[in-house]
Amino acid sequence: MIDPARLSLNLMTVDHWSLAEAVERCASAGIATIAPWRHQLDAGSARTIRDAGLAVSSLCRGGFFTSPGADDDNRRAVEQAAELGAPVLVLVCGPPAGTDLAAARATIAAGIERLLPFAADHGVRLGIEPLHPMMVGERSAIVTLGEALTLARSFDDPPVGVIVDAYHVFWDPRLDDELAGAAGLIAGYHVSDWLVPTQDLLAGRGLMGDGIIDLPRLGGLVAAAGYDGPVEVEVINPTLAAVPGDELLADIIARFARAA
């Protein structure tokens, strides 16, 4: 059972709303923390969020270190996170350019190293998010929690963290052991559920309780590793756009209490 006050709504869950609408609806529903994505931001977003009294748990996303222009774009992402008061910039690290996964992983490590001083200057922690291995070709060569932790540990000043997203890591037979060694390294915890059958590699996620992830157990392991920060609900599924907004947020709050 996670303290309901720790719920943060990752706004990809409601990407069919404008940021202003999401802020207003969250404030009304009693959700005090949000996590926007960069494409949802404009020049007034920081003020909109602040004026509504909401906190920001993270900004999603920087990364894509294997793409041209990544350094400039990542510095801009750090600046945006700082403007929003987001303590963490989530890194989706980028896919291999061709068949060489080891080279991609080295490129990612070097990119984080270059970005780190700039992030530290802005008071933003970098959070490496391992994605599900089915996303290796399009989104991330970093596909296991163990790999993300090893990478995070290779930087110690300032510390780099990892983002534990239940959807991306629940399948891993090494998960318990990796989390047992993750104290101090968890910079965020995301929840959703894995539907059976899963029919879409990107946008087929379920609301907590509708799938096969043992979220209470995973949440316990994350807590045992010392993480007590915001817990983002991030459910990427276009069918949610058909649910009336008040109903959707009430359902998310109820499921967070019951199934996360």
Site residues for a second copy per CB under 8 A: 95-96, 98-101, 105, 132-134, 136-138, 143-144, 146-147, 170-174, 194-199, 201, 211-214
Considering the complex, what minimum distance in angstroms separates the CB of residue 147 from a second copy? 4
Judged by beta carbon, residue 208 or residue 231, the one nearer a second copy is 208
Considering the complex, what minimum distance in angstroms separates the CB of residue 213 from a second copy? 6
Would you call 166 exposed, middle or buried from its count of C-beta atoms within 10 A (0-12, 13-18, 19+)? buried
Amino acid identity at 119: A
Considering the complex, what minimum distance in angstroms separates the CB of residue 158 from a second copy? 24
Judged by beta carbon, residue 34 or residue 218, the one nearer a second copy is 218
Judged by beta carbon, residue 1 or residue 212, the one nearer a second copy is 212
Considering the complex, what minimum distance in angstroms separates the CB of residue 80 from a second copy? 27
Judged by beta carbon, residue 147 or residue 232, the one nearer a second copy is 147
Would you call 69 exposed, middle or buried from its count of C-beta atoms within 10 A (0-12, 13-18, 19+)? exposed
Considering the complex, what minimum distance in angstroms separates the CB of residue 195 from a second copy? 7
Judged by beta carbon, residue 17 or residue 170, the one nearer a second copy is 170
Residue 172: which H helix or E strand, with range? none
Contact between 11 and 48 (Cβ < 8 Å) = no
Region of 131 please: left (phi>0), alpha (psi -120 to 50) or beta.
beta
User: For residues 204 and 237, what is the distance between their CA atoms, to the nearest angstrom?
Assistant: 5
